[in-house]
Chain A
Amino acid sequence: MRRRTLLGGAVAAPLLAACSGGGGGTDSGGRTTLSYGMWDPAQVPGMEKIIAAFEKRNPRISVRIQLTPWASYWTTLKTSMRGGTAPDVFWMNAVNFQLYAANGVLEPLSGHIKADATPVDRHPKALVKLYSYRGTQYGLPKDFDTIGLWYNKQLFDKAGITYPDASWTWDDVRDAAAELTDPRRRVHGFAAEMDRQIKIYPAICGADGYVLENGRSGFGDERSIDGMRYLTDMIDRGWSPPQSAMVESVGRVRYWSEKVAMNYDLSAMAGQMYAVPALKDHGGIAVLPRGKRRATIIHGLANVISAKSDKKAAAWKFVHFMAGREAAEIQAKAGATISSYEGTQDAWIKSMPEFDLKNFIEMQEYAVPYPSSKNTAVWENLQYPLLGAAFSGKGGIENAARTLGEQMDRALKEERDS
Chain B
Amino acid sequence: MSVFPATAAAKAAGRSRTSASGTRPGSRNQRSAYWFIAPLGLGFAVFYFWPLLQTLYFSFTEFGAFGGHTFIGTDNYLRVVKDVTVWQALGNTLIYCVIGLMALPVAIVVASLLNRRGLRGVSVYRALYFIPFVTLPVAVGLVWNWLYNGDFGLVNEILGWFGAERNYWVSDPSTAVYAIGTVMVWSTTGYYLVIFMAGVKGIPQDYYEAAELDGAGPLRRFFTITLPLLSPTIFFASVICMINSLQTFDLIYIMMAEKNPAIGDTQSVVGLFYKWAFIENAQGAAAALAFLLMLVIAALTYLQFRIQKRWVHYA
Is there a chain A Cβ closer than 8 Å to B212's Cβ? no
Is there a chain B Cβ closer than 8 Å to A194's Cβ? yes
Known contacts A82-B66, A247-B168: does B259 contact A1 (CB below 8 Å)? no
**Is there contact, CB below 8 Å, between B137 and A247?**
no
Q: How far is the CB of B54 from chain A (nearest CB, A)?
A: 13
**Is there contact, CB below 8 Å, between A388 and B250?**
no
One of A2, A75, A384 near B250 (C-beta < 8 A): A2
Interface of B is mostly: loop
* Stretch from B145-153, B218-226, B306-314 contacting the other chain: B145-153
One of A3, A103, A243, A378 near B259 (C-beta < 8 A): A243
**Is there contact, CB below 8 Å, between B280 and A378?**
yes
The CA-CA distance from A381 to B272 in the complex, in Å, is 11
Interface residue total, chain A, C-beta cutoff 8 A: 34
Q: How far is the CB of B260 from chain A (nearest CB, A)?
A: 5
Is there a chain B Cβ closer than 8 Å to A268's Cβ? no
**Is there contact, CB below 8 Å, between A103 and B258?**
no
**Is there contact, CB below 8 Å, between A2 and B150?**
no
Is there a chain B Cβ closer than 8 Å to A99's Cβ? yes
Chain B residues with Cβ under 8 A from A82's Cβ?
66-67
Is there a chain A Cβ closer than 8 Å to B281's Cβ? yes
Q: How far is the CB of B72 from chain A (nearest CB, A)?
A: 10
Q: How far is the CB of A186 from chain B (nearest CB, A)?
A: 8
**Is there contact, CB below 8 Å, between A247 and B245?**
no
**Is there contact, CB below 8 Å, between B62 and A418?**
yes
* B148 (CB) vs chain A CBs: closest residue: A248
Is there a chain A Cβ closer than 8 Å to B248's Cβ? yes
**Is there contact, CB below 8 Å, between A388 and B263?**
yes
Is there a chain A Cβ closer than 8 Å to B91's Cβ? no
Known contacts A1-B244, A244-B261, A247-B257: does B275 contact A381 (CB below 8 Å)? yes
Is there a chain A Cβ closer than 8 Å to B65's Cβ? yes
One of A3, A6, A103, A245 near B151 (C-beta < 8 A): A245
The CA-CA distance from A244 to B281 in the complex, in Å, is 29
The CA-CA distance from A245 to B262 in the complex, in Å, is 12
**Is there contact, CB below 8 Å, between B250 and A1?**
yes
**Is there contact, CB below 8 Å, between B261 and A103?**
no
The CA-CA distance from A385 to B145 in the complex, in Å, is 20
A residues neighboring B (CB under 8 Å): 1-3, 5-6, 75, 78, 81-82, 99, 103, 105, 193-195, 243-249, 375, 377-378, 381, 384-386, 388-389, 391-392, 418
* 16 A/B residue pairs, CB under 8 Å, sorted by A: A1-B248, A1-B249, A2-B250, A5-B249, A99-B65, A243-B171, A247-B171, A249-B151, A378-B280, A385-B263, A385-B264, A386-B264, A388-B262, A388-B263, A391-B261, A418-B62
Further pairs besides A384-B263, A392-B171: 17, Cβ < 8 Å:
A1-B247, A2-B137, A6-B274, A193-B259, A243-B261, A244-B168, A244-B171, A244-B261, A244-B262, A246-B259, A247-B260, A248-B145, A248-B168, A375-B280, A384-B261, A386-B264, A389-B173
